[in-house]
Amino acid sequence: MSSGNDASTQAQKRAAAQGRAQGLDIGWTVFSYLLAGMAAYGAIGWLIGRAVHVSLLFPIGMLVGLAISLGFIIYRYGRVGPGGRPPGGEREMTGDR
């Protein structure tokens, strides 16, 4: 009787660890989107600003990149599907599509 309880406890611990790992993975993905957006659009702003001799385009490019990244993150991770789950996790296959 005790071994069934131990197996159940171990399964719960494994599931909790897997959930934490998935949350950490999403956090690092969001962080990398923010950095990449700022770096890419900051570089574009810096190049254009250097060509036209307007140094203000570098920080403007970084802010635009941050805004675009935030919009993409909200679009990708901020939506909630039916049942309170984000869409794309478990898709139901139906015959009418």
Residue 87 within any structural domain of the chain = no
Q: Show the domain range for 40.
A: 2-80
Q: What is the pLDDT of residue 42?
A: 96
Give the total number of structural domains in the chain: 1
**Assigned domain for 88 exists:** no
Distance of CA 60 to the CA centre of its chain: 23
Best CA proximity match to 11, nearest among 90, 84, 3, 85:
3
13-70 residue pLDDT tens: 777 767 666 777 888 899 999 999 999 999 999 999 999 999 999 999 999 999 999 9
Entry pTM: 0.64
Residue 17 lies in a domain: yes
* Separation of alpha carbons 87 and 42, rounded Å: 31
